Amino acid sequence: MRNTRVIGYEDIPRDVVATGNDYPAGLVLPGHRHKRGQCLYAVTGVLTVMTSEGSWVVPPYRALWIPAGIIHAVHMGGLTSTRSAYVLPEVAAQADLPEHCTVISVSPLLHALLSEAVDLPAEYTLGTRDDYLMRLLVQEIARMPALPLNTPLPQDSKLAALCRSLLESPSLDVDIDSMARRADMSRRSFTRLFREQTGMSFSAWRQQACLMAALVRLGRGQSVTHVAMELGYSSTSAFTAAFRRTLGATPSHYLIAGSTS
């Protein structure tokens, strides 16, 4: 698989361009932005993408739509192989692609289109099969359902810093009172502001952060029991129940290719 530098590649006079890349485990792509919207597809490995609005986890055979201009950093969990389609902003708008970062399912057709797209000439001939394939690729991205694989960040700078710290080491043992103290707020003020700025209670946010961390750790090959205990769940069964309730499958099945698509 080739590794393609995106700088300059985005200036190719085509509505859609595609790249494929392989990355070593643990690599971090520092914060950067693209002129085009990006459909970032994880073929192998688990990606974690951070922006000022939150954190998104992208397991294998899922993808993240990143609108043009959004500064994002990408963390590679394990050996990672990606395919990316870069779509001009006006083309993305015409296709009604999301205006915010969104994890999406990847259908067998979308997988095939992305796999084929990376091997097409950069300046494919308009009005040919290659052109029609790229147009279909955009339409297939647009019809994919969104997945609940993100943890939003509050706008308040102090709360956001505390949340980023918790995302680095999430645990159910971190309670509301301790977070309120660290934010120099009363419990009531903290819970009100947190819900206003994230759209969810702190306890729901904390569990979401733990489940997103679980996906990354499971993707690295850690056992379900080890992950459950490390994140503060009372038992493996409690962790499995929470995981299935939120993500629709058990931990042992979720990372199987196509299991929820």
Treating both helix axes as pointing N-terminal to C-terminal, what angle do 236-247 and 202-219 enclose, rounded to 10 degrees?
Answer: 100
Segments making up each domain of the chain, as ranges: 9-142, 152-254
Domain 9-142 CATH assignment equals 3.90.550.10:
no
Arithmetic mean of pLDDT, 26-50 = 95
pLDDT of residue 1: 41
**Residue 227 near residue 217 (C-beta atoms within 8 A):** yes
* pTM for the model: 0.91
**Residue 65 near residue 41 (C-beta atoms within 8 A):** no
pLDDT of residue 10: 87
CA distance 146 to 4: 27
Mean pLDDT score across all residues of the chain: 93
pLDDT of residue 152: 97
Could you give the percent of the chain with pLDDT greater than 90? 87
Q: How many Cβ atoms are within 10 Å of 209's Cβ, its own excluded? A: 22
225 pLDDT higher than 50: yes
Domain 152-254 CATH assignment equals 1.10.3720.10:
no
259 pLDDT higher than 60: no
Q: Which residues contact 69 (CB under 8 A, 6 or more apart)?
A: 33, 34, 35
Q: How many Cβ atoms are within 10 Å of 159's Cβ, its own excluded? A: 21
> Position of tokens 């986890």?
57
Arithmetic mean of pLDDT, 213-218 = 94
Confidence of residue 255 (pLDDT cuts 50, 70, 90): confident
pLDDT in tens, 53-87: 999 999 999 999 999 999 999 999 888 999 999 99
Confidence of residue 257 (pLDDT cuts 50, 70, 90): low
Least confidently predicted of 1-5, 131-135, 164-168, 231-235: 1-5
99 pLDDT higher than 80: yes
190 pLDDT higher than 50: yes
187 pLDDT higher than 90: yes
Could you give the percent of the chain with pLDDT greater than 70? 95
49 pLDDT higher than 70: yes
CA distance 118 to 253: 29
185 pLDDT higher than 60: yes
CA distance 210 to 154: 17
